[in-house]
Amino acid sequence: MRARLLVVLVTVVLAAVAGFAFPLLGTTAEQRTQQLVIARNADVDRFVVLAQQASDSADAAALAAEARRYAEVYSESVLVIDARRRVLASAGGLSLAQSDVSTRVEAALRNEAGPAVAPLRPWSHEPVLFARPVGSGTRVAGVVLLRASVARAANDVATWWAAIGAGALLAAMVFVVLAVLLARWVLRPLHELEGGVRAVSEGRHADLPATAGPRELRSLTTAFNRMSDAVVSASEQQRRLVADASHQLRNPMAALRLRMDSLAPSVGEPGQRGYHAAVAEVDRLESLLDGLLTLAIADSTATRLAAGDHAEEPSALETVAAERIDAWLPAAERAKIRLTGESGPAALVRCPESELAQILDVLLDNAIAYAGEDAEIRVRWTVGDGTATLTVSDTGPGLTDDEISLATQRFWRARREGAPRGTGLGLTIAHRQVGSRGGTLELRRADPRGLAALVTLPLAREDRS
Amino acid sequence: MRVLLVEDDDGVAGALAEALGARGHAVTRVTRGVDALGGHHEADLLLLDLGLPDIDGLDVLRKIRQVSAVPVLVLTARDDERSTVRGLRLGADDYLAKPVRLAELLARMDAVARRAGAGDEPQPDVVHVEDLEIDLAAHRVFAAGEEITLTAKEFAILAVLAARPGTAVSRQQLMDEVWGDAHLAVSRSLDVHLTWLRAKLDRPGLLGTVRGFGYRLGR
């Protein structure tokens, strides 16, 4: 839009300047030509009078002297001939032998007017020939020819034209600058609105300045700010509700857990089954609560980071991976699964240690829960162009393509025989956390079987010191 | 053991008081931070909630630490890393997030009380953690009776952790005690040594990470 607006404005500006400058060029050239013609005609007239006197007195000496002096002073040629084409006076090298001269002489003797002098241009250099018959009425007694140099007049035209050109250029520049300023003034609020839309889509307040630009856009900006505040506060409230609810539930959960644990010794044989089932439900409730809170935190982290807060420490992928593998080995052993980590290159990723650990925990937990006995889980990572990719792959039953597309949705669980009932939040949280750090989490089918989870995170610049 | 329970939630306080009472602890319950500041002299151990109605629990902790070394176990609904780290830095002996299992709570309370009581006693030369035997004097480590060969640095790290089994030791402290210095290169080096140490011990999960704070030997 900016380019088009500028093209239109600049075209109009240039057309206006050109429309003003070109006629001016023509007028100045014509004026100077006119001056030249008038001045030379006066000279020619004088010679005509002198030639008349000479023919009357039959003495051309005075005329010849005058012509010589004229040629000396002005460096222009004069030729005077009588009706019988005899040279009465010649100075400066004009001669009847020259074709243009003889043509003009013949025309003048027939009392024909010469051609009009073409308007001068800065590059004109052909001398102009003036011819005038001597005598009055139909009796032509001779011809006065004057060859005038146009060099000075052309120089004057060049000076004028240069001045006009410079003036036009200056005016064009001023107008173009004005056009650019105008375009900026109109478009800046629009650019800011664009930034505002991005901010709102990332869950931030737009807070656009409504002080610049046309009045209509200013009121649009104000309205937009109000809308962004409403949107952001709505999503903020939703997040806070989840966070507060899961936080508030912690106390009753803690009391319930302690009561259940205290109850354990006093539960009799018949009640054991029911008691353990109840404890399992409490476990489930606890992990659901933790999951919801973590998800709410991950959401608010995404908002905070989108707002440009990158204060957190990066973490060393190899260290966290090694440590999480160590922590999950007992669980893997209990599930009769082989968990191995391949050491890869050192990678400092832009994600705090605790979150990277949480992401890995989700992936390892899922793999151990669903891969099944005798499966193998492998953790490895590679460093690419500005990113590190961590892969957790298993040789379990895997997921179908449909299931993979659903897996990162809230509360989705794989329906598998004998699989543990999870909260359905793990992958959602991991997905959110990776996303908030500018990375991606991708699930795909592993080769030849099983599931592979690929976490790609941006590398931190090595300036931690 | 006389336990001062600082907790404003009646449900949690009731359950805790009953459970601890059943195990022979004398529990006094207060709901406000001011009462905790006044009552900690008569307690062997403080169970401190952070979300108190009058003063923030962390402020209570800070004020108590200025005058007393009584063992404090923070038990709170705030389980984010920042609160955990701040709690431990302000002098809490341990930090547990609600909900907590009773068995774990009792074990942590015992560990905290034992350490507080053992403060004046000389360090034992041999530390046992599960089937791990760490001979601090002879610089030798046995796992299930078999000796494990460690480098000097690896042993130094293990020794610092073994001197306080079950306690979270901050990274800073580890680096200070092992390297006598704590700059960036050392920080990376610590990660590497810990990875090796874990591999050599081959006791997954025994050497745990306290996120954002440091490490703990023992499950």
Tell me: pLDDT of B47 over 50. yes
Q: Are B15 and A258 in contact (CB under 8 A)?
A: yes
Q: How confident is the model at residue A28 (pLDDT cuts 50, 70, 90)?
A: very high
Q: Are A418 and A401 in contact (CB under 8 A)?
A: no
Domains and CATH numbers, chain B: 2-117 (3.40.50.2300), 126-217 (1.10.10.10)
Distance, in Å, from the CA atom of A121 to the CA atom of A157, rounded to the nearest integer, reads 7
pLDDT value of position B3:
93
Higher pLDDT: A112 or B5? It is: B5
* B134-152 pLDDT tens trace: 988 888 899 888 899 999 8
pLDDT value of position A310:
62
Interval A324-330 mean pLDDT: 89
Q: Are A207 and A225 in contact (CB under 8 A)?
A: yes
Tell me: pLDDT of A243 over 80. no
Three-state SS annotation for A317-371: HHHHHHHHHHHHHHHHHHCCCEEEECCCCCCEECCCHHHHHHHHHHHHHHHHHHH
Tell me: pLDDT of B180 over 50. yes
Of A286, A316, A330, nearest to B99 by CB-CB distance is: A286
> Minimum mean pLDDT among A125-129, A161-165, A242-246, A460-464: which range?
A460-464
Cβ atoms within 10 A of the Cβ of A448, count? 6
Instruction: Name the strands in the sheet holding B207-210, side by side, starting at the edge strand that comes first in the sequence.
Output: B168-170, B214-217, B207-210
Report yes or no: B182 at the A interface, CB cutoff 8 Å: no
Distance, in Å, from the CA atom of A57 to the CA atom of A310, rounded to the nearest integer, reads 110
pLDDT value of position A111:
81
CB-based contacts of B158, cutoff 8 Å, min separation 6: B134, B141, B150, B197, B201, B217
The neighbouring-strand residues paired with A440 are A456
pLDDT value of position B121:
55
Written as one letter, the residue type at A365 is: D
Tell me: pLDDT of A388 over 90. yes
Q: How confident is the model at residue A307 (pLDDT cuts 50, 70, 90)?
A: low
The neighbouring-strand residues paired with B95 are B74
Q: For residue B211, count CB atoms less than 10 angstroms from its CB and return exposed for 0-12, middle for 13-18, buried for 19 or more.
A: middle
Tell me: pLDDT of A137 over 70. no
Q: How confident is the model at residue B20 (pLDDT cuts 50, 70, 90)?
A: very high
First to last CA, chain B: 23
Mind telling me how many Å the CA of B92 is from chain A's nearest CA? 20
pLDDT value of position A286:
87
Of B80, B98, B188, nearest to A250 by CB-CB distance is: B98
Contact residues on chain B for A262, CB-CB shorter than 8 A: 15, 18-19, 22, 102
Q: Do B12 and A316 touch (CB under 8 A)?
A: no
Q: What percent of chain A has pLDDT over 90?
A: 27
Q: Are A129 and A102 in contact (CB under 8 A)?
A: no
Q: What percent of chain B has pLDDT over 90?
A: 22
Written as one letter, the residue type at A313 is: E
Mind telling me how many Å the CA of B23 is from chain A's nearest CA? 10
pLDDT value of position A420:
66
User: Collapsing DSSP states into helix, strand and coil, what is residue A288?
Assistant: helix
Cβ atoms within 10 A of the Cβ of A109, count? 20
Contact residues on chain A for B191, CB-CB shorter than 8 A: 316, 318-319
Helix axis angle, A215-248 to A151-201, nearest 10°:
30
Q: Strand B2-6 relative to strand B26-30: parallel, antiparallel, unpaired?
A: parallel
Chain A residues 273-302 within an 8 A CB cutoff of chain B: 286, 297
Residue located via tokens 């007393």: B68
Report yes or no: B219 at the A interface, CB cutoff 8 Å: no
pLDDT value of position A465:
39
Tell me: pLDDT of A301 over 70. yes
Q: Do B99 and A250 touch (CB under 8 A)?
A: yes
User: Collapsing DSSP states into helix, strand and coil, what is residue A395?
Assistant: coil
Three-state SS annotation for chain B: CEEEEECCCHHHHHHHHHHHHHCCCEEEEECCHHHHHHHHHHCCEEEECCCCCCCCHHHHHHHHHHHCCCCEEEEECCCCHHHHHHHHHCCCCEEEECCCCHHHHHHHHHHHHHHHHCCCCCCCCEEEECCEEEECCCCEEEECCEEECCCHHHHHHHHHHHCCCCCEEEHHHHHHHHHCCCCHHHHHHHHHHHHHHHHHHCCCCCEEEECCCEEEECC
Give the range with max mean pLDDT: A131-140, A320-329, B163-172: A320-329
State yes or no: cis peptide before A133, omega within 30 of 0.
Answer: no
Cβ atoms within 10 A of the Cβ of A133, count? 22
Contact residues on chain B for A326, CB-CB shorter than 8 A: 198, 204-205, 207
pLDDT value of position B171:
85
Tell me: pLDDT of B111 over 90. no
Q: Do A254 and B100 touch (CB under 8 A)?
A: yes
Of A257, A328, A353, nearest to B99 by CB-CB distance is: A257
Determine the longest span between alpha carbons in chain B, in angstroms: 55
Of A251, A327, A329, nearest to B11 by CB-CB distance is: A251
Chain A and chain B share a number of CB contacts under 8 A equal to 90
Higher pLDDT: B172 or B17? It is: B17
Interval A367-389 mean pLDDT: 91
pLDDT value of position B177:
83
State yes or no: cis peptide before A119, omega within 30 of 0.
Answer: no
Residue located via tokens 């038990």: B75
Q: Do B98 and A254 touch (CB under 8 A)?
A: yes
ipTM: 0.74
Q: Which of A324, A336, A462 is nearest to A388 (CA)?
A: A462
- Which residue from B minimizes the CA distance to A253? B99
**Residue A9 DSSP class:** H
- Which residue from B minimizes the CA distance to A320? B191
Tell me: pLDDT of A204 over 60. yes
pLDDT value of position A53:
85
* A283-300 pLDDT tens trace: 888 888 888 888 887 877
Mind telling me how many Å the CA of B8 is from chain A's nearest CA? 10
Tell me: pLDDT of A35 over 50. yes
Q: Which of A396, A366, A367, A379 is nearest to A323 (CA)?
A: A379
Interval B61-70 mean pLDDT: 89
Q: How confident is the model at residue A417 (pLDDT cuts 50, 70, 90)?
A: low
**Residue A310 DSSP class:** -
Written as one letter, the residue type at A111 is: N
- At residue B129, φ and ψ (nearest 5 deg) are -130, 110
Helices (H), A202-214: none
Q: Are A104 and A111 in contact (CB under 8 A)?
A: no
* The two structure tokens encoding residue A152: 């000075």
Helix axis angle, A2-57 to A61-74, nearest 10°:
160
Tell me: pLDDT of A464 over 50. no
* The two structure tokens encoding residue A102: 């003889």
Chain length of chain B: 219
Return the sign of the alpha-carbon dihedral for residues A367, A371, A372, A376. negative
Determine the longest span between alpha carbons in chain A, in angstroms: 163
Q: Do A329 and B204 touch (CB under 8 A)?
A: yes
Distance, in Å, from the CA atom of A143 to the CA atom of A50, rounded to the nearest integer, reads 11
Q: Which of B201, B207, B117, B124 is nearest to B167 (CA)?
A: B207
Chain B residues 65-94 within an 8 A CB cutoff of chain A: 77, 80-81
- At residue B207, φ and ψ (nearest 5 deg) are -100, 95
Chain A residues 220-279 within an 8 A CB cutoff of chain B: 247, 250-259, 261-262
Q: Strand A387-394 relative to strand A451-458: parallel, antiparallel, unpaired?
A: antiparallel
* B25-44 pLDDT tens trace: 999 999 998 888 888 888 89
Q: Which of A100, A106, A98, A62 is nearest to A81 (CA)?
A: A106
* B186-203 pLDDT tens trace: 778 888 888 889 888 888
Q: Do A316 and B188 touch (CB under 8 A)?
A: yes
